Each structure stands twice: as C-alpha cells, then as structure tokens.
Amino acid sequence: MEQSFELADSTDWIDTPLNLLGPLESSLRCQICKDFFTSPVITSCCHTFCSLCIRRCLSSDHKCPVCRQADQELKLRRNWTVEELLENFKKARPSVLGLARKEAARIKNGGDDSSEPSPKKRKVNHLDEPEPPAALSPRRVRTRSRGAKVQADPTHGQEEIEESDVAIEPEVIEDSQDEDYSDDGLVPCPICNRRVRQDTINTHLDTCLAGDSPKPPPVKSSTAFGYRHPQGSELKKLERLPAINYSLFKEHALRKKMRDLGISDAGPKPLLQRRHTEWMNLWNANCDSKNPKSKSQLARELDTWERTQGGNAVPSAPERNPVTSKDFNAAQWSANHNDEFKLLIANARKKSDAQVRSTIPRVSESSNAAAEIPSPTVPSPHFGTPAADQNDSTPSG
Amino acid sequence: MATGFAHKRLSLPQGISIVKADDLKEWQMDIKVLDENPLYMNKTFRLKFTFSDRYPIANPGFTYSEPPEVQFIQVPDNSDTPRPIPMHPHIYSNGIICLDLLGRSGWSPVQTAESVCMSIQSMLTANTKDERPPGDKEFITHNRRRIRDINFVYEDDDV
C-alpha cells in the first residue's frame, strides 16, 4: 500500500475503521475520470458526471457512457446538490481521514493506549454502523460544550463558563453569517460570479471583462444560498457555444469562425473540427462552473490539449507503420512473416476470383474473426504486425 | 493516467483477485466463476489487461476513450497455479475474447478493470456449451494482428 501518491482516493479508507466511507467517496466521484466531480451535471437519464467529461463523451459518442441511452449536451443540467455535497465532503475529508488513520495505527499497535472507550467504538464500526460516530466531528464536540454551558450550575467557577463560551463563539458567528448573507456588502460579479465589495465592483468588472481576472479567493464559500442566489440570473452573461454541424461549414468559413472565437485556425479540416469541439466543450463546461475560469485560462487548457491530443501530439507507437519507417529491416520482416507469405501465396494460387468473393459473405455471417485471413493479398501493414510487437512496442523514432 | 490506477487497491468483488498491477502497461487478474457451472467449477482463469501508451484517451478521430486489450492467458497445468483458457463459444483457444464491450464500439469510459472482470465472469456463468468458436484452429494459427485491429462481428446476443 503505497502512500507515495498524494492523490486522494476512495481506497484510502479501506484500512481504517471507517472503511464504509470508501463507497461513499466513490459515489462522489465521476465515473469517467474517477476524480471528484468538477462542475457536476446530470444527464436526461439521470446520471451525473463532470461537465467536461460528459461533454467530451457526448460530442464523440452521443450517448450516456453508463446506460448508453442517447443524449445531447443541450440537455445537461447542473447538479448543485452534488456539488455542495462534494464541497463539504472535501472539507471534512482530511480531518476525518486523519483521525481514521490514527485510529487504524493505534489498533495495529495492539490498541495499547489507555483510553477506554475507543475499542468499543471500533467494534460498533465493524458490525453494522454505517456512519462513524459523530463524536469525530469537531462541531459535535462544540454542541456538547454548549450543552454543558446551559447546564452549568453555580458550583462551577466563572472561568469555566467563559471557556466554553470561547469554544462556542466561532459557530455562533458562522450561523449568523448564514442568515445575514445578503447584508454583507458584497455583490456578485456578473462575469466571474465572485463576490466583490460593492465599491470595487467597477474596477473588478474592468479586469474581468479584459478576460484575465486575478484570482481572489471566493469571499463566501458554500452556503446553500451561495449556490442558488446569484447564479441563476447572472450566468446568462456567460453564453454557451452552440454545437455546429461541421459538414455544413466550408473550410475557410470554419477557419474564420475559429479566428472569431480567438482560437488557432491552423491545420487541416479534421483537426479544426476536433479543436473546435474541444474548445466548445471546455467553454461550455466552464459555463457550468461555480467559479468560471478566465478565457486566457481556457486558452491554456486548449493549448495543453493541442500538445497532447491535438495537432502537436506525437503519434503513438502503435500508429506507426513499420514498413514505412526509415530503419525498416526488410530481411527481418520477411523472415518473421515467411509463413504468412507462403500461406498467402498458396491461397492465392488455389483460389479463383470467384472463390475469393465467396469468402466475403462468410465473414459477416460468422463471429469468427479469422475469416479475413485467407485474403490473397500482400499483407498490408495493419494486417501483419507480428504478435510479438505488442509486448515490446517501443516507439520507433 | 492515474485514473485506472485507483482501482488497483479497491476491495474487489468475490471471485476476482489481482495477480499483477505494478504499472500502467499490463495488469493480470484471476477470476473464478462463482456458481456451480460444471464447465468452470474449481477452476481459476487468468485475464491479462494491456493498456496502450495513450490509455484512456482514444486516438484522434475515434471515440473519446480507448479500451485496454483484454485476453485470457494460459499458465501450464504443471505449474503451481494452473490457469487454463476457459471453454466458451466466444473465447478462442489462444485466449482472445470476442465480447462487444471490449471493442472500440462497445467500450465505455466508465468501465474499469473490475467491471470488465465481472462482465466476463457473467459471460462464463451463463454459458452451457463446452466448445470453442467456429474456425478456432484457423484463427489461432494465422492471427498475427493485435487484438484491437481484429474486426469481430458481434452477432450472438445470447451471451
């Protein structure tokens, strides 16, 4: 079990007494990228994915990857509940996991700590308690201390009451902030949705519109209001890009469109299409985001795409055709495939054209992939890659 | 690239265990059929997953995600852990499996090594025929293609 990865993973819980949190965490992860949801959206078949993940899927497959029901990007809707759930889970995760690991280590060391109640707790977890005892969350501890204060009787010293007051303080303020939310003097920026002080909104707007807003931390994090209140009306400003039917676009029209969007128009038409699709997906997924990125940030992401999957991507090894590579060793090749060549020649001699035709229907009526084999042609490259190659497929150049 | 890796340490369903998953090139899993199908009782089979350099991202122009290559591998009977190739009308005797979910058209990015193992488990469970696919001999002698290049025709909806 290597912890060298600093990646959070649902398997982190397995070896702790809270192993039932593993499945909980799994369900907060996108089934496509296996990471926590980023801007979760729900499909018309009610499956939830990251906005970008499902957009990429739908733009190539047009169906839900889970149930394979046909769907369209237009029908995706944001899933705020999941986002909120996730945000709060992520906040709680480090402390809960820390405690769980501490406990796991303690158990491993034979539980030799003097503290009594813990072994009992562990037993409960192992049986059927689905959730960890809430005593692990700091909030609960505070609630208790508040209860203690209410019950505080005159026999207790003044100091002790003051102490419990101090413990309660942060929570009380938090609550009142929730309720006074709209009175905090902040207004949401219509571009980036960050909350900004009213007297600075104009300067903020200028930088935002310039497309490269600085990234102040969101002033107010996730309260239930925070999600619904500003978003609905303001998000109209971030307009989504419509999908376009590439076959209706002449190449130069597509290039112009891409220049207008501010993205590169270089490369052949298929590449233009893929780049436009990727940009549309990035852009529209960004529209689903609670904290949308600036256009220049998106442009950098498109650039990453360009280097890894787009026009600048290095073709992967299996795509290389060994026959056309510079260091192609003809003798080696013919030695390796000698048997195949002989078989092909034999087949070619045996069969007339008519017979060759008759083999073709057989291909489709049997599930047998071998039917292609007797085709009496010189092996085309995709046909003859030796099986041995798949084990040591190092890029040849 | 760490996406598939996450599943390495998951608690696996019954009858599935990891033999080897040290990197993102090749994984091996052992699977057992859980019910009392006489064809596969008391036998364990070994699956090999081969991931391409690009996994899970498909080659340009194809679908969004790319399947790994999945096939059975054989471990000889005289070894400590004999692993035969299961008898099945869609499994060739060289271990190549004809199953639509493993092909480009049937693959979905939500599939994981775990879900693939379970699909194959159920494909075995449901089988009653002690036979190889038609043309098995010919196929295994002459096939030199990589699994991903084989154009299977999926015509049997019973499995």
DSSP, residue by residue, B38-81 = TTTTT-EEEEEEE--TTTTBPPTTS-SB-PPEEEEE-B-TTSSS
Is A129 found in the same domain as A90? yes
Chain B (29-48) residues lying within 8 Å, Cβ to Cβ, of chain A: none
| A18-43 pLDDT per residue, tens | 888 988 999 999 999 889 999 999 99
Read off the pLDDT band of A300 (50, 70, 90): very high
Give mean pLDDT, residues A295-299: 92
Q: Is A390 in Cβ contact with B146 (below 8 Å)? A: yes
Q: Does the residue A273 lie in any domain?
A: yes
Give mean pLDDT, residues A135-146: 43
Q: Is B152 in Cβ contact with A57 (below 8 Å)? A: no
Q: What positions of B carry a catalytic annotation?
A: 98
Which pLDDT value is given to residue A235? 46
Is A132 found in the same domain as A17? yes
Which pLDDT value is given to residue A8? 81
Which of the two residues, A349 and B75, has the higher pLDDT score?
B75
Q: Give the residue extent of every domain in chain B.
A: 4-144
β-pairing, A77-78 with B16-20?
Answer: unpaired
Q: Is the CB of residue B22 less than 8 Å away from at least one CB of chain A?
A: no
pLDDT at B4 over 60: no
Which of the two residues, A315 and B147, has the higher pLDDT score?
B147
pLDDT at B123 over 50: yes
Interchain CB contacts (distance < 8 Å): A and B: 127
Which pLDDT value is given to residue A324? 61
Q: Does the residue A272 lie in any domain?
A: yes
pLDDT at A219 over 80: no
Q: Is A382 in Cβ contact with B149 (below 8 Å)? A: yes
Q: Does the residue A46 lie in any domain?
A: yes
Q: Does the residue A72 lie in any domain?
A: yes
Read off the pLDDT band of A140 (50, 70, 90): very low
Residues in chain B: 159
Q: Does the residue A178 lie in any domain?
A: no
Give mean pLDDT, residues B131-144: 84
Cα A341 from Cα A379, distance rounded (Å): 8
CA angle B76, B79, B80 (to 5 degrees): 135
| A311-348 pLDDT per residue, tens | 766 554 444 556 666 667 777 778 878 888 888 888 88
Q: Is A9 in Cβ contact with B9 (below 8 Å)? A: yes
pLDDT at A395 over 70: no
Q: Is the CB of residue B6 less than 8 Å away from at least one CB of chain A?
A: yes
Pick from A350-354, B83-87, B117-121: least confident: A350-354
Chain B (112-131) residues lying within 8 Å, Cβ to Cβ, of chain A: none
Q: Which domain holds residue A338?
A: 324-387
Give mean pLDDT, residues A98-117: 75
Nearest to B138 among A14, A319, A370 (CB): A370
Cα A20 from Cα A354, distance rounded (Å): 65
Which of the two residues, A44 and A212, has the higher pLDDT score?
A44
Nearest to A1 among B6, B9, B156 (CB): B9
How close B142 comes to chain A (CA, Å)? 7
Residues in chain A: 397
| B5-20 pLDDT per residue, tens | 444 445 678 889 889 8
Q: Does the residue A170 lie in any domain?
A: no
How close B66 comes to chain A (CA, Å)? 12
Query: Do the Cβ atoms of B29 and B16 come closer than 8 Å?
Result: yes
Is A328 found in the same domain as A272? no
Most B-contacting residue of A34, A63, A68, A276 (CB-CB within 10 A), to test interface: A34
Cα B153 from Cα A364, distance rounded (Å): 7
Q: Does the residue A171 lie in any domain?
A: no
Compute the mean pLDDT over every residue in chain B, rounded to the nearest whole number.
81
Contacts of B144 in chain A (CB under 8 A): 337, 340, 383-387
Cα A52 from Cα A89, distance rounded (Å): 21
Looking at mean pLDDT, say which of A122-131, A256-265, A350-359, B102-111 comes out highest: A256-265
Q: CA end-to-end span of chain B, whole Å?
A: 32
| A150-183 pLDDT per residue, tens | 444 444 444 444 444 444 444 444 444 444 445 5
pLDDT at B112 over 90: no
Is A330 found in the same domain as A287? no
CATH code, domain carrying A101: 3.30.40.10
Residue-wise burial string across A325-347, b where 16 or more C-beta atoms lie within 10 A, e elsewhere: eeeeeeeebeebbeebeebbeeb
Read off the pLDDT band of A239 (50, 70, 90): confident
Helix (H) or strand (E) holding A107: helix A80-108
Cα A55 from Cα A49, distance rounded (Å): 9
Is A128 found in the same domain as A225? no
- B17: phi then psi, degrees, rounded to nearest 5: -140, 155
Q: Is the CB of residue B11 less than 8 Å away from at least one CB of chain A?
A: yes
Is A122 found in the same domain as A16? yes
Q: Is B146 in Cβ contact with A369 (below 8 Å)? A: no
- A200: phi then psi, degrees, rounded to nearest 5: -110, 5
Give mean pLDDT, residues A248-255: 90
Contacts of B71 in chain A (CB under 8 A): none
Helix (H) or strand (E) holding A77: strand A77-78
Domain total of chain A:
4
Q: Any bridge partners for residue B97, and if so which?
A: B91
Q: Is A318 in Cβ contact with B135 (below 8 Å)? A: no
Contacts of B64 in chain A (CB under 8 A): 56-57, 59-61
Which pLDDT value is given to residue A119? 44
Cα A166 from Cα A172, distance rounded (Å): 10
Is A257 found in the same domain as A372? no
ipTM, two decimals, is 0.74
pLDDT at A283 over 90: yes
Contacts of B8 in chain A (CB under 8 A): 11
| A350-381 pLDDT per residue, tens | 775 555 555 554 444 444 444 444 444 433 33
Which pLDDT value is given to residue B100? 86
Nearest to B52 among A274, A318, A370 (CB): A318
Which pLDDT value is given to residue B56? 72
Q: Is B152 in Cβ contact with A10 (below 8 Å)? A: no
CATH of B4-144, one of 1.10.340.70, 3.90.1150.10, 3.40.50.720, 3.10.110.10: 3.10.110.10
Which pLDDT value is given to residue A321? 59
CA nearest neighbour of A308 among B112, B105, B24, B53 = B53
Is A116 found in the same domain as A51? yes
CA nearest neighbour of B25 among B55, B58, B62 = B55
Cα B118 from Cα B13, distance rounded (Å): 8
Is A253 found in the same domain as A370? no
